[in-house]
Amino acid sequence: WDEPVIFELSQPGERGILLPEVEPEIARAAGQALAALPASMRRQNPPRLPEMSQNRVLRHYLRLSQETLGADLNVDVGQGTCTMKYNPKINDQLARQPAMTELHPRQPDSTVQGMLEVIAKLEGVMCEVSGMDTVSLQARGGSQAIFANMSMVRAWHESRGEAAQRDEVITTIFSHPSDAACAKLVGYKVITIYPDADGYPDLEALKAAISPRTAALVITNPEDTGIFNSRIREFVDAVHAVGGLCVYDQANANGLLGIARAREAGFDLCHFNLHKTFATPHACGGPAVGAVCCTAALAPFLPGPLVREKDGCYQLVPGGAQSIGKISSFAGAAGIILRAYAWVMNLGADGLRAVSEIAVLNNNYMMHELLKIDGMSAPYAPGKRRIEQVRYSWKALCDATGVTSEEIGFRAADFGLHYWTSHHPYLVPEPATIEPTESYSRTDLDEFISVMRHIAGEARSNPDLVKTAPHNCPTHRVQGEMLDDPERWGITWRAYQRKLGERGLA
Amino acid sequence: WDEPVIFELSQPGERGILLPEVEPEIARAAGQALAALPASMRRQNPPRLPEMSQNRVLRHYLRLSQETLGADLNVDVGQGTCTMKYNPKINDQLARQPAMTELHPRQPDSTVQGMLEVIAKLEGVMCEVSGMDTVSLQARGGSQAIFANMSMVRAWHESRGEAAQRDEVITTIFSHPSDAACAKLVGYKVITIYPDADGYPDLEALKAAISPRTAALVITNPEDTGIFNSRIREFVDAVHAVGGLCVYDQANANGLLGIARAREAGFDLCHFNLHKTFATPHACGGPAVGAVCCTAALAPFLPGPLVREKDGCYQLVPGGAQSIGKISSFAGAAGIILRAYAWVMNLGADGLRAVSEIAVLNNNYMMHELLKIDGMSAPYAPGKRRIEQVRYSWKALCDATGVTSEEIGFRAADFGLHYWTSHHPYLVPEPATIEPTESYSRTDLDEFISVMRHIAGEARSNPDLVKTAPHNCPTHRVQGEMLDDPERWGITWRAYQRKLGERGLA
Amino acid sequence: MATHPYIPNSVPEVRDAMLRAVGAASTEEFFADIPAALRMQGPLAIPAPHLSEARLKRHVDGLLRKNTHCASQLSFLGGGCYQHHVPAVCDEVNGRSEFATAYAGEPYDDHGRFQALFEYCSMMGELLEMDVVNVPVYDGMQAAATTVRMAGRHTGRRRVVVAGHINPDKLAVMQNYGRADLDFVLAPFDRASGLLDMAALAGLLDRDTAALYVDIPSFLGTIDDGAALAAAAHAVGALLVVGVDPVSLGVLAPPASYGADIVCGDIQPLGIHMNYGGGQGGFIASHDDPAIVMQYPSRLFGVVPTSVPGEYGFGDVAYSRTSFDKRENGNEFVGTAAALWGITAGVFLALMGPQGMVELATGIVQRTAYAKQRLARIPGVRVTHEGSCHFREFVVNFEGTGLPVAAINAALLKQGVFGGHDLSTDFPALGQSALYAFSEVHTQEDIDQLCATLEKVIGQ
Amino acid sequence: MATHPYIPNSVPEVRDAMLRAVGAASTEEFFADIPAALRMQGPLAIPAPHLSEARLKRHVDGLLRKNTHCASQLSFLGGGCYQHHVPAVCDEVNGRSEFATAYAGEPYDDHGRFQALFEYCSMMGELLEMDVVNVPVYDGMQAAATTVRMAGRHTGRRRVVVAGHINPDKLAVMQNYGRADLDFVLAPFDRASGLLDMAALAGLLDRDTAALYVDIPSFLGTIDDGAALAAAAHAVGALLVVGVDPVSLGVLAPPASYGADIVCGDIQPLGIHMNYGGGQGGFIASHDDPAIVMQYPSRLFGVVPTSVPGEYGFGDVAYSRTSFDKRENGNEFVGTAAALWGITAGVFLALMGPQGMVELATGIVQRTAYAKQRLARIPGVRVTHEGSCHFREFVVNFEGTGLPVAAINAALLKQGVFGGHDLSTDFPALGQSALYAFSEVHTQEDIDQLCATLEKVIGQ
């Protein structure tokens, strides 16, 4: 499709949908209901939205959808850290029924007993999977859950009168950017630990960093390298020893369900992304849910409202006196909670464990095969197995051919595959993070591997082909420098049109 | 996508869905429930269906869907006679609710009052739109409605003791093939009238054909040429004069809603396709509904069951003693009936009339512009307006370039458009039937016109490009001769594999 | 009339500009050929519309709320339309805009539609162990009606012997559809066993017989000996045509294995919602015998190589058979029927796979057997053909209760149960009997609840 | 554990072959780095699963049946989440597999996702008359919390004055989110009018003030004079940040027109189902001032030419602002939030067009005004800010009835009506009051029925 920007499709007078009539008696009674407002508070001109028939609106968005490579459409293993797995359609179907979609969050508890039961039961599952004591599902994404956890760390130290003294949070460079960012946001100085020669977070560096100023350690394990840090308990104990809390970023726990938990490693807080490990759709980037899990000691700080059961009746109760307050509106993204609940209830304990076992098998199979490609390596911990993903490096290929990891990704798109380099900074040169999850068959994995091998071959035989990719996508290489130029960026169509008129572009 | 045939995706052991467990007590009680059957009645080997994970099944069909050019995705005006119009999503949404989908057709009438009311009310609308007295919505397609009408013609003459004498049905070559075929099927000899020089059915030929042997006239108006036959009443009167019935094929009535009706033209029977004029989705070719409409005189012959209202309660009653019996299962394709009902109830009388007025405007605009293309013509009735569609001819272009209408259609597919030649036989040389309906904007029509103009230009400048099309479709020109060769056709994968093994193919 | 969202060019300015472009003063001009006597004089007298989508939805939802449906009740209705769990992926695929709104494109622009339907036919072929399967016709009744016409054309004979335990509606469809060229005779079935009376059948089959038509399982849930029927039909040169519940083929032999020449049935149970009967779709299958293939009226899709090596394409096989090509000289007729349900059934078969189909059918056999035992224990209730094997359905006789089926069903309805289909009108010989159907949707608890409710109802 | 449909390589033969390929004896080997003390010793103690989709659906449907929902009741609840008609096309688009399961692809493979979100931002820009709109954040509360942080960074000041008629939950979110770097002060509102006390406000604004934050309409449905607020804020060099109900902008002036510097709000009313609060999504908008733009933490998508003339491409604007690029040195943080609702809101705005948005808002104003008049006539019932204009919501006081709101709502519930949100806890100064909300879903009959039911309830 060569689909225009929607404003270019406007035909004055066309309507996409009609509104219900206002009954004459209402119109009469209402009169000029806003006449008392200052004129400056009344809109003078209708918004300049496109005017389109319903058919054309639909066609436009259907075409855009076909120009979007959803996980349903491809072997989506190249988007590492994101846990792209199969999102069962039954869960969507269940969540798209009126008994879910038409619930108002302020309805009396007695009228939402089913919904509250789902929340309570999924909280119970999260408790068991993490080993923690209490859970809140209010956060609408993983980063918001991290923020909630950091807020609870702050509230905890405040409750103990140590807030002023403890102003540092320690994290690692291979933990998610939001771990560092959220610590900063709630007011902490961030200390970042780098890996040692084997790729593990440097325990000596941690020991050097901790002090009575330490509020918390925020860490992922395995980190984005997929290498499990065996000494995690030592990290946790060291931080606890100086009075800090330990926060486990389990956004991606896909390799550890029923295998290992935050509890046994001694953590005080952790979180899961339901849209990763628990199979809710990524939805172009949300809605989503981050499950905030904590020990009983931290429970008083959880955001409200909380679901409580009493005599088989569920009710929402406000957060306690020490609660951090609200993290987001109402009880969070309930439709996502329902989907995750359905997923868990379809798999059970054996199924969850099978998820992790096969995700890890797939990952190690993938690594075994990818490392046969000349020019690709898996830095750190040579010969060691990985958990659910691997951070690879194309440095050797890039040195030999000039083709970068990013360009390999653009070329992969020509084969109908997603591919992602890695979070910044690129500590591993020319990085690629591949996470096959449990959802893909051996045949699927082999297909991905063969594309990687093919592109690596192209890089050597015809590097220009790769360096000018994509060739087979809905659009071609963008003039990216405009996006960083305030004079030329166009964040809305109106801004683009204005700038185009004022000074030309491109 | 380069998506394999589904059997090629099979991995033994994979499962797409799991079945409910049989409770132990049931299994115990059931024992070997079929042990008493002859062994030859028990299946020996499981069917050799593909074995696939759910993710892979879904991905396969989603990819196939993207390789299908639904009306929602394109300016679907090139599929003449089919009335490709916008099928509102709200109607699908309404019809996909459990209160529609989970109804069993044998439920007590008291539990399906809403459904029966919808049927009854849509029958009422059909009565009004046709001017007829009674309607049955049992037929599951237009051709089945034609068959029902022909069955009623037969039953009518049988009831009057004239069945043996009346053994001929008259139709026209520009009426739908099923009009002729169904007449034949119920036992009639078919007499086909050809058009006169102006493209109208030849009245003189009709007059020569009618006789006491005439059972019925079955005719479309306007025919696929889009030309309204002004003398239709004379046709009807002539047939009535010899004791025959008149059946109006109104499968496509999109130009006549609120404009002209079967009643005023004197017809005894007619039918509408709800998936054409009444906007239900074509669904790759059904499910669908044909509305069978008739005068009170013919009503006793309608198929049962019929919906009757009594004191605000609706009930299904069997067909009468003279009923032709059943045409299809139960009360027909109820979900389609619901969609058409919703469509009518959204438009009302004014809306239905606007549908026809704009459909006809669009068609005449399209004709006006297409006839500017060198090499295209609209045979018959020069200078006359058309109703809802036009049968064009590319004869001049083909004579000049060798490019056929069929090849133009293959090339149009490269531009993301459907295009259809016409029903056989090709009375109009190198025919194309274009029907813009009311659903497309002027901009949409202009886009279609410009593609036609472009291809006509290519035919002159680079005929090979057109003759080897498609170039931009999921697949390329097929080896069509295999499809007519019993030695080589492959109607199922198993047959194809067998023949491939036995004698090679291609 | 204001601009309507479904009619873009109803914008007055656009409409007027288009009128100007074609040199027309108004749309009335386009209707100039329609004589005044044929023109409607006033507006259509139909109900006032709900112009907004919001009010339309509220109106229709209000109507639908007057229905009670099987997902909220306990239902044991069958008789040709069956409640099964419909996999969400089936709904997802048939709800895709592309499939929902495609129609009659060429094998290039609609490659996916052709492939999906070819694959449906191919998977049905594996289930049936036959090489030829058609693109769906309207329903199983239409399929049955066409198969005997095919047999008639193939054999050049008029007589069709139909098993007497057929769905009476199906018989009505077959008769009306075929009677111009065929004569129908019913073969009686044994009262005790619910199976065909083989001796009587032998007397009905003769050298004028084109086909013996039988449903296996029968409308009453019983299972005749196919091989014996095949022998009887073939002995007089007739074809054996078997109507089959495709779900049963997880445990029952495919008719081809015992000698059926043409097989047909309804695909509704394969992943399609009941839709008050709107989920039906008919299939016809045979071996790859050109003499039979040329008798199909339906579209048949075939796989073929394309101009690109290794690539598959699809197209119509032997199109010249059809009325599309030959009008009244083609076979019967062909038109829009139930293609989307064909695609859906294909998705269903792919999801189920071999093991799923076996488990599905086995589970139904087990639940049916359990229900037979439980129901037979209720005082006054008798399983009519208790000694025979059943698939999915069986006849329950209530004469011992002194109550008509209508009264029992009315009482069950009050308890939220849709009792079995009342057979007393269509099969008076069976007395006050009802046809009870079971599937994987039923738990043991459901069946026990049915029995408990029946006991209560009868005891009152 | 048998092979599960979601886990293809759980087929034992495949799993074993893969283990062999990588030289592992079992999957246990992959977990060798996890110390025994950290390993779970037993299975997870979670409820027994419903392995079949059929039983899973039945289980979840059973839970959902315990809910009563607004499509089957009459609801007047609002307070940040609103019942509107959701156009079917909105559901169709956000239900598309491609959009539902896409995530973080590049602008090439996910061109459509980028375009759809860019168009959403662009249409919001027209509604707001602002040039910069972000890709959605979690909800309107998050948007509000971020806007005041943006103002703090932009001005280098700590003080934030918040209008006192704010949703108390939103205030709680803002405080927890901002308090490391901001100090919050509440500005009181007038009891009679429900509008901000301008004199008191002037006293609160000072040269340390980064922003004045106000919702227009307020949580209580009243509409302050934006120009006066802008003048007051700008007088001390503070930014005016306005939280706005996007639906109101069909009749109310876009805040940019009266001087707002940053605008935010929740897109849930734009074609997104309530989902028990799961339909929220936050927007932030501003003028195209680079100094402000660089304060956004969110992703901003921009349109750019590509290497093919005339073709559009999309990409991230000023990515270096973000925590994705700079970790703790980026602005706040960014992550998965509510993108699908952004796409959906775009579809909604495209369907509505200019006229639709005006009609929608106008109709709500009219229904609200009608309801005010009708409710005020009920004995004992008082509209608290009766003299002020309202959009969509207003406060109803029940003190004259002698009944607490809780009792009235309980009685309404018995009649199938969800009464207004009880304000007595959060706004004790308003006494026994409730917040009633109206939209285009309500007919005159619905409002009349509410009043009749209230009269009956109060009269008892």
Q: What is the DSSP string of B69-127?
A: --TTTS---SSTTS------HHHHHHHTSHHHHT--TTS-GGGBHHHHHHHHHHHHHHH
User: What are the extents of the domains in chain D?
Assistant: 1-30, 74-82+354-459, 88-348
User: Tens digits of per-residue pLDDT, A47-62?
Assistant: 999 999 999 999 999 9
- Are D188 and D218 a contacting pair, CB within 8 Å? no
Q: Which residues of D touch A227 (CB under 8 A)?
A: 33
Residues in B closer than 8 angstroms to C136, CB to CB, are 286
Mutate to test the interface with A, among D91, D122, D195 (most CBs of A within 10 A): D122
CB contact under 8 A, B230 and C34: yes
C53 touches chain D (CB under 8 A): yes
- CA–CA distance, D124 with D127 (Å, rounded to integer): 5
Mean pLDDT, to the nearest integer, of B186-212? Answer: 95
Ranges of each domain in chain B: 6-66, 131-346
Structure tokens at B274: 């709800």
- Nearest C-alpha neighbor of C194 from the set C411, C366, C387: C387
Cα separation, C351 vs C123, in Å, equals 11
For B495, the closest chain C residue by CA position comes to C131
Domain with residues D74-82+354-459, CATH architecture: Alpha-Beta Complex (3.90)
- Bridge partners of A309, per DSSP, are A314
Q: Provide the token pair at B41.
A: 């009645």
Query: Which among C72, C82, C85, C106 is the top mutation candidate for probing chain B, defined by the most B β-carbons within 10 Å of its own β-carbon?
Result: C106
Q: Which parts of chain A sit beneath pLDDT 50?
A: 506
List, as ranges, residues 89-128 from C with C-beta within 8 Å of A. Answer: 89, 91-92, 97
User: Sign (positive/negative) of CA torsion D411, D415, D416, D421?
Assistant: negative
For chain A, list residues whose CB is within 8 angstroms of any CB belonging to chain B. 1, 9, 11, 14, 53-56, 58-59, 62-63, 66, 72-74, 86, 88-89, 416, 439-444
pLDDT in tens, C119-159: 999 999 999 999 999 999 999 999 999 999 999 999 999 99
Which amino acid does the sequence have at A487?
A: E
Is C4 an interface residue toward A (CB < 8 Å)? yes
What per-residue confidence (pLDDT) applies to D460? 78
Contact indicator for B250, B132 with CB cutoff of 8 Å:
no
As given in the structure block, the two tokens for residue B340 are 């058409």
CA dist list (Å): B190 to A420, B187, B211, C328: 67, 9, 13, 7
Partner B contacted by D429 (CB < 8 A): no
Q: pLDDT higher for D70 or B479? A: D70
- First-to-last C-alpha distance (Å) of chain B: 22
Phi then psi dihedrals of residue D3, to 5 deg: -60, 130
Q: Find the angle CA(A185)-CA(A188)-CA(A191) to the nearest 5 degrees.
A: 115
Is the per-residue pLDDT at C387 higher than 90?
Answer: yes
DSSP per residue, D199-254: HHHHHH--TTEEEEEEEES-TTSB---HHHHHHHHHHTTPEEEEEE-GGGGGTBPP
Residue A434: helix, strand or coil by DSSP?
A: strand
D205 Cα to chain A: minimum distance (Å): 22
Strands C301-305 and C312-316: antiparallel
Chain C hits for D64, Cβ within 8 Å: none
| Contact between C347 and B61 (Cβ < 8 Å) | yes
Residue window 58-87, chain D: list those with CB within 8 Å of chain B: 87
- For helices C339-376 and C111-128, give the axis angle rounded to 10 degrees: 30
- Report which DSSP code applies to B4: P
Report the neighbours of B using a cutoff of 3 or more CB pairs below 8 angstroms: A, C, D
Interface contact D357-A29, CB threshold 8 A: no
Per-residue pLDDT at A506 = 47
Nearest chain B residue to C247 by CA: give it.
Answer: B47
Contact C53 D92 (CB under 8 A): no
Do residues A364 and D78 touch, judged by C-beta distance below 8 A? no
- The mean pLDDT value for C7-24 works out to 97
Chain B positions in Cβ-Cβ contact with residue D7 (cut-off 8 Å): 53
Measured CA to CA, the distance from residue D454 to residue B404 in angstroms comes to 74
List, as one string, the DSSP characters of A129-158: HHT-SEEEEEESSHHHHHHHHHHHHHHHHH
pLDDT value for D86 = 98
CA distances, C109 to each of B2, B411, C106, C177, D96 (Å): 15, 10, 6, 35, 21
3-class DSSP state of C443 = coil
Residue D362 contacts C, CB cutoff 8 Å? no
> What whole-number distance in Å separates Cα of residue C302 and Cα of residue D255?
63
d(CA D447, CA D394): 14
pLDDT of C1 higher than 60: no
For residue B505, what pLDDT is reported? Answer: 57
What is the predicted ipTM? 0.97
Show the tokens assigned to B136: 């049955």
- Beta bridge pairs of residue B271: B249, B292
Query: Could you give the percent of chain C with pLDDT greater than 70?
Result: 100
Q: Give the whole-angstrom CA distance, residue D368 versus residue D221.
A: 10
Q: Alpha helices of C157-275 — where are they, by DSSP H?
A: 168-178, 198-204, 226-235
Read off the pLDDT of each residue in C92-111 and give the average, rounded to a whole number. 96
B217 in helix, strand or coil? strand
Please say if the pLDDT value at position C227 is more than 70. Answer: yes
- Tokens, residue D275: 């989902």
Mean pLDDT over each residue of chain C, to the nearest integer: 97
Whether residue A436 has a cis bond before it, omega within 30° of 0: no
> How would you label A321-353 residue by residue, b for 16+ Cβ within 10 Å and e otherwise?
eebbbbbbbbbbbbbbbbbbbbbbbbbbbbbbb
Beta bridge partners of D133: D285
- Nearest Cβ partner for A104 among D53, D274, D368: D274
The residue in chain D having the minimum alpha-carbon distance to the alpha carbon of residue C92 is D97
Count how many pairs of residues, chain A against chain D, have C-beta atoms within 8 Å. 740
Q: Report chain B's C-alpha Rg in angstroms.
A: 26
The chain B residue lying nearest C173, using CA atoms, is: B326
pLDDT digits (tens, 9 = 90+) for B397-411: 999 999 999 999 999
Domain D88-348 fold is Aspartate Aminotransferase; domain 2 (3.40.640)
**Which pLDDT tens digit goes with each residue over B47-105?**
999 999 999 999 999 999 999 999 999 999 999 899 999 999 999 999 999 999 999 99
Helix (H, G, I), strand (E, B) or coil at B443: helix
pLDDT of the residue at A502? 79
At residue D1, the pLDDT reads 57
Chains A, B: CB contacts under 8 A, how many? 53
The Cα D149–Cα D139 span in angstroms is: 16
Q: Is C229 on the interface with B (CB under 8 A)?
A: no
Region B307-318: mean pLDDT is 95
| Chain D residues closer than 8 Å to A339 by CB | none
CA distance B182 to C176: 12
For C74-83+354-459, the fitting CATH number among 3.40.718.10, 3.90.550.10, 3.40.50.10680, 3.90.1150.10 is 3.90.1150.10
D196 - beta bridge partners?
A: D189
Distance CA D7, CA A347 (A): 10
CATH C-level class of B131-346: alpha beta
Task: Calculate the CA dihedral of residues B191, B195, B196, B197 and round it to 10 degrees.
Answer: -150
Band (B479; pLDDT cuts 50, 70, 90) = confident
* Residue whose pair of structure tokens reads 């559809």 in the numeric block: C177
Interface contact C25, partner A, CB < 8 A: no
Chains that touch C (3 or more CB pairs under 8 A): A, B, D
- B17-44 pLDDT, tens digit per residue, is 999 999 999 999 998 899 999 999 999 9
Question: In the predicted model, what is the mean pLDDT of residues D355-374?
Answer: 98
B63, A54: Cβ pair inside 8 Å? no
Cβ-nearest to C100 among B259, B281, B480: B281
Our CA-based measurement puts residue D251 at a distance from the nearest CA of chain C, in whole angstroms, of 20
